[in-house]
Amino acid sequence: APIPERVHVGNSPVYITDRKLGKGGFGQVYVGRRVSGGTARTGPHAYEVALKFEHRSSKGCNFVPPYEWQVYQTLNGCYGVPAVHYKGRQGDYYILVMDILGPSLWDVWNSLGQAMSPHMAACIAVEAISILEKFHSKGFVHGDVKPENFLLGLPGSPEEKKLFLIDLGLASKWRDSSGQHVDYDQRPDIFRGTIRYASAHAHLGRTGSRRDDLESLAYTLIFLIKGRLPWQGYQGDTKSFLVCKKKMATSPDMLCSFCPPPFKQFLESVTNMKFDEEPNYAKLISLFESLIESPASRPIRIDGALKVGQKRGRLPVNHEEDDQPKKKVRLGSPASQWISVYNARRPMKQRYHYNVADNRLQQHIEKGNEDGLYISCVASSANLWALIMDAGTDFGSQVYELSPVFLHKDWIMDQWEKSFYITAIAGALNGSSLVLMSKGTPYTQQSYKLEIAGE
């Protein structure tokens, strides 16, 4: 269904859908213009707003309100997160009505010839750290920190130099309902985020925590200054793996070459954080103090950083921990130390083998048993065997006998004494036989009878 031409959700004014602003992780964003009234630049009475549309059948909705709505509701009024004024469903779309914002840091970087001054990047760093601190204090991690998701305020408005963090569709909780840190887990088959800026932990499928947002911010800052990261350019199905390997093989010295020292110090600090470690946001902000110039020349407002700072607008310097032992710094550890071998395939419920020669029989049976499968049926053709192995046999254990004669009577009787019963049997043209006997069957007694053909 097409995007609605007119939007009216809840008790909102009526908006006309105008030009497209961009595309988020799951939705599309358009300018909405009020049909009547509204003279403010921002807020619920603004003449122009941002309308975010998500189709109800999209991955982010699945026929219920988007998960992002819950995050915005929890973060309502959070510093650096744009305000949601109205929300609701209209036709096939879930719609958010928000303040319209200005260019992203990606746009700014492009307009500056794809190279940003360390001074500007430092202003971004301290304000972004402050925004993330407030974001994290609400119990969430963003999960997709990158230049495209940091926007400045609307040009010409009082907030044109203010930084905002948008697109909360990949946010997740680092703190549970009881206030405890979520448990560590690892699912390497699941990747969330943007490959270029994701933390090494995200590549490895580790549960997201506060350290990951900060590591992604470090890569964002280095990209804005240098214009490129060493792992750009990989293509194909193995891109994520190759990028991950390159990230972990690249030392902070190499990655931060030609960047002022605070950026390397920040990278080292955040890449050595523990899973559940609480970041020292004030100390991280203080790293960039030497690069911050006078207020008149700051290209980005750093209100959030100043609020946690000292008097007269100085950024905080944390002297308390200067004498603490320094952590060991990861200097490009080999990827083999980090990457886990993981098979996400569900256990097979059934498997079959055919054209199996006598000398290969044991290998197939043992491998199946390791995977929880037991033989439920056998057959023979041209002196080769076919096996069907199942997970749902309910057998407790199984033994087999490959005999050069048809049915090894003594072996069968020995197994009966041990409470094994015949569950599958087959004979080959050369007179050999394969007998499977199992425990866990419904049988309590068993016999067999041989009849010679033609008699």
Q: How far apart are CA 331 and CA 264, in angstroms?
A: 12
CATH superfamily ID and name for 105-337: Transferase(Phosphotransferase) domain 1 (1.10.510.10)
Per annotation, catalytic residue among 99, 144, 212, 213: 144
Q: What is the mean pLDDT of the chain?
A: 87
pLDDT (tens digit per residue) in 267-294:
999 999 999 999 999 999 999 989 987 7
**Helices marked H in 345-428 — which ranges?**
361-370, 409-417
CB 198 within 8 A of CB 188: no
Mean pLDDT within 63-91: 91
Please tell me the least confidently modeled range out of 83-87, 345-349, 361-365.
345-349
Q: How far apart are CA 65 and CA 67, in angstroms?
A: 7
61 or 215, greater pLDDT: 215
Residues paired with residue 434 on neighbouring β-strands, in sequence order: 402, 426
Q: Is the pLDDT of residue 211 over 70?
A: yes
- Give the other-Cβ count within 10 Å of 175's Cβ: 18
Q: Is the pLDDT of residue 193 over 70?
A: yes
pLDDT (tens digit per residue) in 235-252:
988 899 999 999 999 999
Q: Which residues contact 99 (CB under 8 A, 6 or more apart)?
A: 42, 43, 46, 49, 50, 82, 83, 85, 154
pTM score of the predicted model = 0.69
Tell me if 52 is assigned to a ligand binding site: yes
Helices (H) and strands (E) in the chain, counts: 12, 16
- Give the other-Cβ count within 10 Å of 291's Cβ: 20
- The tokens describing 261, both together, are 């020292």
Q: Is the pLDDT of residue 317 over 70?
A: no
Q: Is the pLDDT of residue 38 over 80?
A: no
- Count Cβ neighbours within 10 Å for each residue of 317-350 and write b for 16 or more, e otherwise: eeeeeeeeeeeeebeeeebeebbeeeeeeeeeee
Of 275, 260, 216, 228, nearest to 120 (Cα)?
A: 260
Instruction: Mark whether 371 is an active-site residue.
Output: no
Q: How far apart are CA 307 and CA 159, in angstroms?
A: 17
Domain spans of the chain, in order of start: 6-99, 105-337, 350-439
> Options 3.40.30.10, 1.10.10.10, 3.40.50.720, 3.30.200.20; which CATH number does 6-99 get?
3.30.200.20
pLDDT at residue 264 in the model = 97
